Chain A
Amino acid sequence: MSDEVAIPTSPSQRAEAAPSLLRAGSGAVLLLLLIAFGPTFLFSDYHLFQLTMVVVYAIAILGLAILTGFNGQISLGHGAFYAIGAYVTAILMSEYDVPYWATLPVSAITCAAVGFLIGLPALRLGGLYLALTTFALAVAVPQLLKHKLLEPWTGGVQGLVIDKPDPPFGLHLSPDQWLYLFSVFVGAALFLLAWNVVRGRIGRAMMAIRDHALAAEAMGIDIAMLKTRTFALSALYTGVAGSLGAIVVQFVAPDSFGIFVSIYLFVGLVVGGVSSISGAIFGGLFIEFVPNLAEKVSKAAPGAIYGVILIAVLFLMPMGAAGFLRSIIARLRR
């Protein structure tokens, strides 16, 4: 609603405002393009792989941010949706020879449906119950994936290996370069969608539920339904991230989707900034690069460092990295 306050009153002012807005917008787009495409030709394949994983994690965390940051629901089990997305893609690619890009919509729909079903019972109740249920889901997922009934598809404990896709249209790119561009493209589309959802009518309803559920209900919002749909949307995001992750890593196995995937996504969410869309990118950078640095100390170090940083962030900058940056910028502008 606050956006409408800024609308200029006279026609001449409006004419002035539009181009500057356009200029700012196109500047931002140019910057984004530079950040997205610069690395493609400057970085080595290994670094591109890492950056692709940043994009993947950022999408997964964005899903969590929509749920936790904008709707106030806590999930400790989004690793389960990441796993489902990864497995849908892996099964479709290795068993049915479906092209990699065509698996994304399938895994999106699958994860949204599973999210809807899981959210239906848990979301009628307060925040902790969802955290508990999703925690249980995440702990149970590796066992489910290993089960012998699913083994013909999932490959059991062994997991599945998938091939790295080649760049299309005869482009002269390495597979890693193409995958990076592809992930950035998917990620940009999903970020734009999230940005629009959050700023629209649905997003305001989501935030109203977060801030005051009773008042939201009095305004005519169907709380249970909107919460469940938000959960499904959030599961969709994380599932697509899982699909991309599977394509990038070229391998899925039950034991790589334990409870710690969910916990790391949660840590990335809090560190990046809970109710911020750009925070998801900081979160993605955090969970990709911090363990790499920490593992030089010891095998156990990443977990401990994650934990310490998580608690420190909660105590010192509850709005996360994105909120912290925003407050610094606000201070500089004053």
Chain B
Amino acid sequence: MEGVLHQVLSGIASGSIYASVALALVMIYQATHHVNFAQGEMATLSTYIALTLINAGVPYWGAFVITVVVSFVIGLLIERILMRPMANAPVLSSVGVFIGLLLIINSCTGWLFDYMIKTFPTPFPSGPPLFSGYVSGHELGSTAVTLIVLLAVYLFFRHTRLGLGMRAAAFNPVSARLVGIRVGWMLALGWGLAASIGAIAGMMVAPVVYLDPNMMSGILLYAFAGALLGGIDSPLGAVLGGFAVGIIENLAGAYVVGTELKLTVALVIIVCVLVVKPSGLMGRTVLSRV
């Protein structure tokens, strides 16, 4: 029983990472109906930026803030330069641009920072595990950070004018434009925000999985599974789905399939969701008028 509790707790810790990446995916999906296949590589790039800053002598939290800001700008620029012309293009074109982006960022990180696996520092105490051995300091700290981020995003969308404008732009672009919201900029801001959230997730997971150019490919897969499980057009659903996938992954890895098939668990979750309830647990069923 103690083993189960331990697995659930570390599932929550990794689930918080999946939840953040899933939230980043859903934010972009809600606004543009694009699935950002390059989300993982963008987060990896941000993590490398953070590592470079830390190695240059910047204190951890300073590097953290700078990385979040830089990632925001990168996300903004990608939307303005690459995605804007693709707004009304067929699905294939947008998928193609994302794949192109994935390839470019992946090989650039490999080229600039080489393919060696690197360690990434954690700001949290690495002393003996807390709570009679259930949770490590980093797990607790990273879960806290991601929960704060998720709460901040929630408050931003609920209680600020800008958040309201972004929701309006995603929900009904035409009407939003009519009441004076600059829809294009709202989409760009959403991209920036998604990139920042991904960057935080990258920095929080890097001490656990170590940093290399392909660090996020597995995590992106879990985030996909989480987003689909919760409903790909529901931010809250994506967050809950991310946590659920983290717990399922840990339990299944410990008791059912073993650690070697953990990625297959994500595939099975995706297929099961699509078979049983394609709209996800909290998503809307899309009806289209004929």
Whether B188 is near chain A, meaning CB under 8 Å from some CB there, is no
Instruction: Give residues 134-155 of A contacting B (CB, 8 Å).
Output: 135-137, 139-140, 143-144, 146-148
A133 & B95 in contact (Cβ 8 Å cutoff): no
Q: Which residue of B lies closest to A271 (CB)?
A: B96
Name the residue on A nearest B106 (C-beta).
Answer: A303
Q: In chain B, what residue has the closest Cβ to A259?
A: B217
8 Å CB contact of A136 from B91, B99, B221: B221
- The distance in angstroms between the C-alpha atoms of A307 and B108, with both chains bound, is 11
CB distance from A310 to the nearest CB of B (A): 4
Interface 0/1 of B78-111, CB less than 8 Å to A: 0000100110010111011101111110111011
Distance between Cα atoms of A185 and B15 in the complex (Å) = 51
Interface string of B20-41 (1 = CB under 8 A from A): 0000000000000101010000
B interface: dominant SS: helix
**Known contacts A131-B35, A214-B290; A136 and B266 CB within 8 A of each other:** yes
**Is A306 positioned at the interface, with any CB of B under 8 Å from its CB?**
yes
Count residues of B near A (Cβ-Cβ below 8 Å): 44
Mark the stretch among A34-42, A119-127, A241-249, A321-329 that contacts chain B.
A119-127
- Contact in complex: B103, A140 (CB < 8 Å): no
Contact string, A62-75, partner B, CB cutoff 8 A, digits 1/0? 00000010001010
**B91–A128 contact, CB under 8 A?**
yes
Report yes or no: B96 in contact with A314, Cβ–Cβ below 8 A.
yes
- Residue A104, interface by CB 8 Å: no
Contact B96 A270 (CB under 8 A): yes
Q: Is chain A's interface secondary structure helix, strand, loop, or mixed overall?
A: helix
Contact A121 B274 (CB under 8 A): yes
- Contact: B267 with A136, CB < 8 Å? yes
Contact call A147/B261, Cβ cutoff below 8 A: yes
Complex Cα–Cα for A259 and B290 (A):
38
- In the complex, what residue of chain A is closest to B109 when comparing beta carbons? A300
Verify B101–A140 contact, CB threshold 8 A: no
The reply to whether B99 and A146 contact each other, CB–CB distance below 8 Å, is no
Asked if B104 and A304 make an inter-chain contact with CB atoms under 8 angstroms apart, the answer reads: yes
A308 within 8 A of B: yes
| Whole-angstrom CA separation of A124 from B278 in the bound complex | 9
Name the CB-closest residue of B to A311. B100
Whether, in the assembled complex, B271 has its beta carbon less than 8 Å from a beta carbon of chain A, the answer is yes
Using C-beta atoms within 8 Å of the partner chain, give the interface range for chain A.
Answer: 35 or more
- Inter-chain CA distance A118–B266, complex, in Å, is 14
Determine if B52 is an interface residue (Cβ-Cβ < 8 Å).
Answer: no
Instruction: Return chain B residues, CB-CB under 8 Å to A299.
Output: 110-111, 115
C-alpha gap A132/B26 in the complex (Å): 14
**Chain B, range 59-93, C-beta contacts under 8 Å to A:** 82, 85-86, 89, 91-93
Please, which residue of chain B has its CB at the minimum distance from the CB of A127? B91
Complex interface: chain A residues within 8 A of B260 (CB): 143, 146-148
Contact of B99 among A76, A143, A148, A274 (CB under 8 A): A76
Question: Is the beta-carbon distance between B95 and A144 smaller than 8 angstroms?
Answer: no
* In the assembled complex, A160 has its CB within 8 A of some CB on chain B: no
Contact yes or no, A301 B224, CB < 8 A: no
Q: CB-CB < 8 A to A144: which residues of B?
A: 261, 264
The residue on B at minimum CB distance from A315 is: B85
Extra inter-chain contacts (5) besides given A118-B271, A136-B221, A139-B263, CB under 8 Å: A76-B99, A127-B91, A128-B95, A148-B260, A274-B92
A residues apposed to B, CB below 8 Å: 68, 72, 74, 76, 118, 121-122, 124-125, 127-129, 131-133, 135-137, 139-140, 143-144, 146-148, 214, 259, 263, 266-267, 270, 274, 298-304, 306-308, 310-311, 314-315, 318
Q: Which residues of B approach A to under 8 Å, CB–CB?
A: 33, 35, 37, 82, 85-86, 89, 91-93, 95-97, 99-104, 106-108, 110-111, 115, 217-218, 221, 224-225, 228, 260-264, 266-267, 270-271, 274-275, 278, 290
